[in-house]
Every structure is written in C-alpha cells, then in structure tokens.
Amino acid sequence: MSAALDAGLAAAGARPVARGRRALDTGGLGAALGLCWVVAACVATLGGAARLMLVGFPLGAALIALGLLALRRWNAYLAFAIVMWLTTNEVRRFVDWKSVYHEQNPILLTATVVSILSLPWGLLYRRRVRKEIYNLVSVVMAVGAYGLLVGIVRNGFLPAIADSLYLLGPLSLGLFVLKVMTDDEALRRVLRGTAVWGCLGLGAYGLIQFLVLPPWDLAWMLGSEISSIGAPRPGEFRTFSTLTTTGPLGQVLAALLLILVSERRVPRQFIAAAVGMVCLGTTLVRAGWIGLALGMVLLFVLGRTKILRMGAVLAALLAGLIVLGGPIIGRMAERANNTTSQTTEDISLQKRIEFQTRIAPTVLSDPIGLGFGATGRVSNLNASDFTDPHFRNFDSGIFETLARFGVIAGLLYLGAIITATAKAVRRARRTELTDTCLAAAALALTFGIIFTDTSQAIYGMVLWLCLATLGRVPQSGGRA
C-alpha cells in the first residue's frame, strides 16, 4: 500500500513539473526573444553601434538559439528562428542606413546560422517519418552534396559554400521540425501563430513602407540599385516589407494566408487576412497571387468551407479598394491588366519569356550542371569562366535548378519535391484543418518554382516547415 501511495505522489509531483517545463517552452517565448533582440539591435544602431552590430547581431542571435537548444526549448527555438527569417533583412537595412551600404552584409547570415545550429539535433534524433519525406530529404542532401562538389571545382570554394547555405539553412530547420519536435499540437500552434503574426507584421509594415517609405528602406533601394521594384518614391514601387525583395514577400504572404485559414480565433484571422491580402496586392507578384488562388481552390475542392471566410475578406477588400481608389488599387489594376492583355506591355513578363527561351537549349543540354555559386547574386563572388553573367538574375526556379545541378540531378531534385507535395495534397482530405492548410501552402510554394527557386532561402524555410510537419508520423497520444 505504501509503495503504491509513494508512486502516486511521485506521479502527481511529476505532472506539475512537466507542465512547468512546457510553460517555459512556447512559441510566444521564442518570438518575444527574437523581437526583443531585433529592437535591441536597432536601438544600439541608433546609439552609434552600427558597425558593431554587423557582427554583434548574428553572434547574439546564435547565442540565444544555442541557449534554447541546450535547454531543450524546442518550440521557443523554432519561433525564434522564424522571427530571424522574417526580420533579418530589415535589421540589415537599418544598420546600413546608419553606417554604409554593404552588398555582402554579415547580418544576412543570421537566420541561416540560427537554423544550421539545429542540424546536429536533426541528424542525431530518430523518429518515424513518411516515406516520401524520407526520400525527399535523402535526394535533396545527395543532390546538394553533388552540387557543392561541382561548385567548388567550377566556381571556387567561397561562392559554392555561400550559395549552398541558402539551401542548408531551411533544410536544417526542416529536419529539426521533422525529427526533434516532441509535441505535435504545440508545433501546429506555433505555425498558426506564425501565420497570424506574420501576416500582421509583414502586411502592416509593408503598407506603411508603400505609403511612407522609411529612410532606411529608401537608402537600401538606392544602394542596391534594384530597378525591378520601381522608383524609390512612396506609392511608386513594389512593396518588399522586411524581406529581401518583392518576390519572397509575395510568395511567403500567399503561403501564410493559406495557413491562416486554420486559425481558430475568427477576429484575429479576419484582421490578419485583410492586412496580409492588401500588402500582397502591393507586391505585384504574380506568383503570389496565383499561388494563393491555387491554394484557395484546393481548400474549396477538399470541402474546407472555412476558406469561404478568406474569399469573403478578399471580395470585401477588393470592393472597398475599388470604391475608395488610391495608389494601391491603381497599381494592382495596372499589373493585372498588363498581365492579361493580349498586347501586353508588361516588360518584366516579356523579359522572363525571352530569358527562358534563350537559356533553355544551354541548360537542357548540360548533364553535369554548374554547381553552387554559379547562379544568383552570390555569383558576384565568382570569377570563373563557367558562369554565364546572365545567370545572375534567374527568372525560373526550374531552369535555375537544372543549371545548378544538371539535367539528371536537377530533375531528381524537382521530382522529389513535387512528389512529396503531391502526396501531402492527396492526404489532405483526411487530415485536420491545419494540415490541410499546410498542404495548400506547400502546393502554392511548389507551384512557385516556375518563377523562382522556392526550395531555398525564406521560401524554402516555409516550404520545408510545411512538408516536415506533414511528414511526421503521428505517435501514440499525439506526442513524438
């Protein structure tokens, strides 16, 4: 009798301790740490420590991430990493504004470093996962290693390593979610929170940016000399909010809006959806618009009637903007008309078609590939004769992948992503609403590969989070 009583008291005492530990491991804690660190860096920059923040910001973020990982605060770490992905570029602009424009700014590595720190945990932990996600991770790691070796040989060590980080960071965070996270419901709660606050934060700041254009964003537009986003004047450019540029903002917002459908608190859902949709409109990113529409159609076809709320918000917003007029609806209408007109004057669309037509024979005839470091802005570090200067601004994720890895490895890479997404979509009808919305977001981002490589950088972060969450095999009791 006494033994049974002691065991019961011990179990009763263990439950409060377990609850206490879970209370210290929340997405809110990680998000608060991330936002506080961002604010602290901006305040220090205003205080004259701009040059110190070039190294101090990524170093401090890495130390916070290591602390959360060491304390096994998995949910807090994930939320902190997501905040870094969503804010790092704006911190970079703020620091550059108070110092000098740095094309290769160390702050840009912050989110990648924070994510890669979780890689040892992701590799060492064991968990049952779905076959297609296991195959996807295996193919991506193998093809990535191949691309790194080819890149080092053809393009040099530094460009190849720098370019590979765009893939390794999101992949590391995806592996962490796939194998290390222990509480399935807490994980989905973090992702729903990311959708709500991501749409609110990115959307609200994006609209302020579009209408006012803060001086640090203006300084970045002038320093980067990116002409594709418009003139550096309020209301005359394509919104980029706190992300790298307009393309990532458009596609990430579309994915977050689709995940937002699963939010259970309706007032928050409506406000976040309204702000996010208006900001998505100001990006003028076709891939984002089409991806959102594609995901909404999927949710409707699967019988998820809550998507009708999103449709109602969208219709109300469009009606209000049309009645009120102003620069936002004007820019959106012009972009839509240029895209759908048979005699289109959409210069960016024409250039994309011309570019893909020109490079297709070269890319499709190369079985080896150029490796990491040959495409994108990182190719500025490369002085190799193997690199076509026109490859520095790719307008196709499909052709960029084939150019980087070669036709054979590139098709394996793309095929693995498409297969994993297709199987997630096929299972979506039988899953809970959150998982269905994650599948819709993954579909939107996978479709976006037509326009840009959405398996890397911040696109890849969102895509890997969706696929990794859906690739987890449910454990007994809902826990890993």
DSSP 8-state code for residue 234: T
Contact of 203 with 275, CB cutoff 8 Å = yes
pLDDT for position 11: 44
Q: For the chain, what percent of residues have pLDDT higher than 70?
A: 79
Residue 480 to residue 472: CA distance in whole angstroms: 9
Three-state SS at 479? strand
Residue 284 to residue 326: CA distance in whole angstroms: 15
pLDDT for position 443: 96
DSSP 8-state code for residue 432: -
pLDDT over 50 (residue 12): no
Beta pairing partners, 472: 129
Q: For the chain, what percent of residues have pLDDT higher than 90?
A: 56
Q: How far apart are the first and last CA of the chain?
A: 34
Sequence-ordered strand ranges (E) for 82-186: none
pLDDT over 90 (residue 377): no
Contact of 279 with 206, CB cutoff 8 Å = yes
Look at residues 458, 351, 459 and name the one whose alpha carbon lies nearest to residue 395. 351
Global pTM exceeds 0.85: yes
Token pair belonging to 359: 């490079």
Residue 311 has a CB neighbour count (10 Å cut-off) of 12
DSSP 8-state code for residue 45: I
Beta pairing partners, 183: 479
pLDDT over 60 (residue 346): no
Residue type present at position 465: L
Contact of 399 with 374, CB cutoff 8 Å = no
- Residue length of the chain: 480
Phi-psi region of 478 (alpha: psi -120 to 50; beta: other; left: phi over 0): left
Residue 125 to residue 256: CA distance in whole angstroms: 28
The mean predicted confidence, pLDDT, of the chain is: 84
Longest pairwise C-alpha distance within the chain: 88
Is the C-alpha dihedral spanning 145, 151, 157, 159 positive or negative?
negative
pLDDT for position 256: 96
pLDDT over 50 (residue 478): no
Cα-based distances in Å from 47 to 40, 50, 89, 92, 326 = 10, 8, 20, 16, 38
pLDDT for position 145: 97
Of 14 and 427, the one with more pLDDT: 427
- When pLDDT is cut at 50, 70 and 90, the band that residue 477 belongs to is very low
pLDDT over 80 (residue 311): no
**Residue pLDDT, tens place only, 212-263:** 999 999 999 999 888 788 889 998 899 999 999 999 999 999 999 999 988 8
- When pLDDT is cut at 50, 70 and 90, the band that residue 326 belongs to is low
* Cα 109–Cα 114–Cα 117 angle in degrees, nearest 5: 120
Residue 457 to residue 344: CA distance in whole angstroms: 31
- When pLDDT is cut at 50, 70 and 90, the band that residue 150 belongs to is very high
pLDDT for position 389: 54
pLDDT over 90 (residue 375): no
Residue 189 to residue 352: CA distance in whole angstroms: 39
Where is mean pLDDT largest: 25-29, 283-287, 435-439? Answer: 435-439
Token pair belonging to 335: 């972009």
Weakest-pLDDT range from 445-449, 450-454, 475-479: 475-479
